[in-house]
Chain A
Amino acid sequence: MRGYHDVGGLSLGPIDKDQHDYALWEKRVDAMLVLLANKGLITTDELRLGIETLGADVYERLGYYERWIASITRALVDRGVITTDELGRRMADVGRRAQEPS
């Protein structure tokens, strides 16, 4: 079988070669992966496998670092580093904080 990410040689049109600045959250996702890998909590190969198993629809819809954070999240839950309950509660906290007037 051919993975949906394994597109070498397929006709997908021209490549967008425009550069863009990274958003702060993208830099944070990148840094998070480095820190987790240094602590032995994830490997690049787990990150890639996670991206390759997001499903073709999600893969197409998400941006580069969105794929990373989706994969990192799943790897950390799989390994027991965080639980979905902890994650859900923290996301709700952050969501509330974002609503508060600063």
Chain B
Amino acid sequence: MTPRFKPGDAVTVRRAYPPGHIRTPHYIRGKSGVVERICGSFANPEELAYGRNGLPAQPLYRVRFTQGQVWPDYTGTAGDSLDIEIYEHWIEPASGATDAR
């Protein structure tokens, strides 16, 4: 699969709460960040968990979030960031951003 996003793109993690094996932490769903890099494409672990092949391989992104936006009560240094690796099917263009596909 050709990656939908590129480094620098503003993205929002989907607010979805399905049962099953999920690799996107609960606390980051609905939060917005910026693609820091494309890590490559990998068989989807959410399918591999059930003994299927996980293909087509899903692009995996390292997305950078601002700690202060993730945790409303964050008291650390302003500008502290948090990187999370997230598969493409879990992110969308950030609201207001253009999806340059």
- Report A's interface with B, CB cutoff 8 A: 1-3, 6, 8-9, 43-46, 48-49, 52, 78-79
Contacts and interface: CB of A to CB of B under 8 A. Distances in A.
Interface string B35-55: 000000000011011110000
Given A6-B26, A49-B20, 17 more contacts: A1-B17, A6-B22, A6-B25, A8-B25, A8-B27, A8-B28, A9-B26, A9-B27, A9-B71, A43-B49, A43-B51, A45-B21, A45-B49, A46-B49, A46-B51, A48-B45, A52-B21
Interface residues of B, number: 17
A43 B51 CA distance: 8
Contact of B26 (A2, A48, A52): A2
Interface of B: 17-22, 25-28, 45-46, 48-51, 71
Contact of A49 (B21, B26, B71): B21
Nearest to A7: B26
A40 to B, nearest CB: 11
Contacts of B18: 1
B48 A3 contact: no
Contact of B48 (A1, A2, A46, A79): A46
Nearest to B24: A6
A8 B26 contact: yes
Nearest to B19: A1
Closest 9 CB pairs of A and B: A45-B49, A49-B49, A45-B48, A9-B27, A49-B21, A45-B45, A8-B27, A6-B26, A2-B26
A84 B25 CA distance: 34
A43 B50 CA distance: 9
